[in-house]
Chains A and B, each alone.
Chain A
Amino acid sequence: MSNGLLARIEVPGRLAADVEAGAGEVLAVIGPNGAGKTTLLTALAGLVDMTGHVEVGGRSWTDPPLPVRDRRVGWVVQGQALFPHLSALDNVAFGLRARGVRRSEAAERAQAWLDRLGVGPLSGRRPGALSGGQAQRVTIARALVTEPDLLLLDEPFSGLDVGVAAALRIELAAHLADFAGVTLMVTHDALDALTLAQRVVVLDDGRVAQSGTPADVAAHPRTDHVARLVGLNVLAGPDGFTAFRPQDVTVSTARPEGSARLRWQGRVSGLTPHGDAVRVQVDTRSSAGTDLLADVTPEATAELALVPGAEVWLTVKATAARTYDRGPDLRDSP
């Protein structure tokens, strides 16, 4: 994997993580707020002090430490980070000019990238005159035009309208497929991870909680955060994790008959529409150790008088639940 990324990053009190990815791969970084996702990106870019090592494309960035400007990174931060006083074209040409490319050639290459991202006609506009989606396209062009070895995307679609984000996601997938370097993408969206990434790293409290292919991580969540992202209930038990879908949960107001092992009591803490069903969030922390989700029909919601605070019982058939073990080595899981 000498052409890819190989890193061990420690930022005291914030992050201690091993990360690796092959050349051309997209690695999604997911996890709750404060898990260290952005710290991971800024450490790779060289913007925060860290210990450990970073190797990209067979070259060490940490031994000796390489200043930010000599690391070949493309950085797409959340929100607006375009230079407000420069036109879209000058923003994109900035990195080429800074690296000594002649003015005319830099303008030509910048224009070509703006064209590829569908914002070529807007090259003369300043960021203030661009919509959020257009500005993000310019930002991506600015990151890619310098042909970085490592592309860092920090929530590239946050703050965009749903339709705009969807269109940009499809386009970005096409550009990433052509991209020879390594891409790290921080995201809050399971869809980003599933559609754009070949590998997923789950960060929790500054550590890697899980890594693997998107399908594997989605099917076997090991943290509440990922379980919520993919819409699964996940319970941690002594011999592993138990996962089941909200639509397989039965809700009743009376104590259920029989001696089902998968049975919990709690209070309704929230109700939200979910497709044709109603997704009921139940505070079962005392019996299950975490909140659980159940999907019920609107009729059943009315019949059972499910309102916040109502006492309910939840049961799941053993055949609807999957159990998997904790996975001893997180780093090398496929």
Chain B
Amino acid sequence: MTRGLGRPPLVLLVPAGIALTLLLVPLVSLLVVTPWARLPELVASEEVLDALRLTGLASLSTVVVCLLIGTPLAWVLARVEFRGRSVARALVTVPLVLPPVVAGVALVSALGRSGVVGSVLRDATGVVIPYTTPAVVIAHTFVAMPFYVLSVEGALRASGERYDAVAATLGATRWTTFRRVTLPLAMPGVVAGAVLAWARSLGEFGATVTFAGNYQGITQTMPSLIYQTLQNDRETAQTLSIILLGVSIGVLALLRNRWLNAGGTTGAGA
């Protein structure tokens, strides 16, 4: 269809080819070298089942926590004028660029046994957070929430305050307006943000290992298990990777239609 414009120039085609190769070769290699015959046996092993269960639990919990506290934060950033709003907005984006292992160290500093908050918590209630399943969810939420908040805030700002004003003239309180007007109109952004947060949580490794450790059945998620296995059994690590790859692609395929529809208005977090 672009024939009339002339041939695509090599100066663009060659780098494009290199980029595509770079993205495809590792994935294809993984498919080629994986010992497929061992897949059923591996999937059934207790260690893998534990890791899969924990990965699912942690990623879904992360999405739920984002929905419950990330949505209100996005609303406040989009709708409430206050001093320091731009600072707050900038802070939300920090975990996006923070190396995950640094995020883990920061979490240890705050919530670790002798951390700023953690020591107080331990003295007062005896509760210790690190190396527990909740620690996994906290680490995942820390790194995934910015994706969610930015996506939802973008959607809230795109839908504008116009409908909020109309709802107010019709006698609605802000809470009613949020429930019945603002949130439904921002739903594509909520879905996109939830998918981004879920995907970020699924692959999370650095912050989790640093803050929550790598204990089977308690804090060992699939990425942690793969990393541990890779040290002495590369074949198994490859097979486990295939499982995680399959899960990611499966979910992406399921959500693809939704993605494409929502992409135009809610790309803020991407």
Instruction: Find the B residue at minimum CB distance from A84.
Output: B185
Min CB gap A208→B, angstroms? 24
Which chain B residues in 137-166 approach chain A with CB under 8 Å? 162-163, 165-166
Min CB gap A20→B, angstroms? 21
The reply to whether the CB of B171 lies closer than 8 angstroms to some CB of chain A is: yes
The reply to whether the CB of A69 lies closer than 8 angstroms to some CB of chain B is: yes
In the complex, A138→B184 CA distance in Å? 20
Query: Are B169 and A94 in contact, with the CB atoms below 8 A?
Result: no
The reply to whether the CB of A292 lies closer than 8 angstroms to some CB of chain B is: no
The reply to whether the CB of A75 lies closer than 8 angstroms to some CB of chain B is: yes
Min CB gap A148→B, angstroms? 9
Query: Are A142 and B170 in contact, with the CB atoms below 8 A?
Result: yes
What does the 1/0 interface line of B170-191 toward A look like (CB < 8 Å)? 1111001000110011000000
Query: Are A146 and B166 in contact, with the CB atoms below 8 A?
Result: no
Residues A77 and B167 in contact in the complex (CB < 8 Å), given A85-B184, A85-B185, A98-B172: no
Chain B binding surface SS class: helix
Name the interface size band of chain B: 10 to 19
The reply to whether the CB of B16 lies closer than 8 angstroms to some CB of chain A is: no
Query: Which of A47, A67, A94, A146 has most chain B Cβ within 10 Å?
Result: A94
Residues of A within 8 A of B172 (CB): 69, 94-95, 98
Query: Are B173 and A69 in contact, with the CB atoms below 8 A?
Result: yes
Query: Are A83 and B165 in contact, with the CB atoms below 8 A?
Result: no
In the complex, A126→B133 CA distance in Å? 45
The reply to whether the CB of B120 lies closer than 8 angstroms to some CB of chain A is: no
Min CB gap B165→A, angstroms? 6
Query: Are A77 and B176 in contact, with the CB atoms below 8 A?
Result: no
Query: Are A68 and B163 in contact, with the CB atoms below 8 A?
Result: no
The reply to whether the CB of B168 lies closer than 8 angstroms to some CB of chain A is: yes
Query: Are B166 and A77 in contact, with the CB atoms below 8 A?
Result: yes
Residues of B within 8 A of A142 (CB): 170
Which chain A residues in 61-88 approach chain B with CB under 8 Å? 67-71, 73-75, 77, 81, 83-85
Query: Are B185 and A94 in contact, with the CB atoms below 8 A?
Result: no
Query: Are A81 and B167 in contact, with the CB atoms below 8 A?
Result: no
Residues of A within 8 A of B181 (CB): 83, 85
Instruction: Find the B residue at minimum CB distance from A142.
Output: B170
Can you name 8 extra interface pairs (CB under 8 A) apart from A69-B171, A85-B184? A47-B169, A69-B173, A71-B169, A73-B169, A75-B166, A81-B163, A99-B171, A146-B170
| Interchain residue pairs A-B with the least CB separation, the first 9 | A95-B170, A98-B172, A68-B168, A75-B169, A98-B171, A99-B171, A85-B184, A69-B171, A69-B168
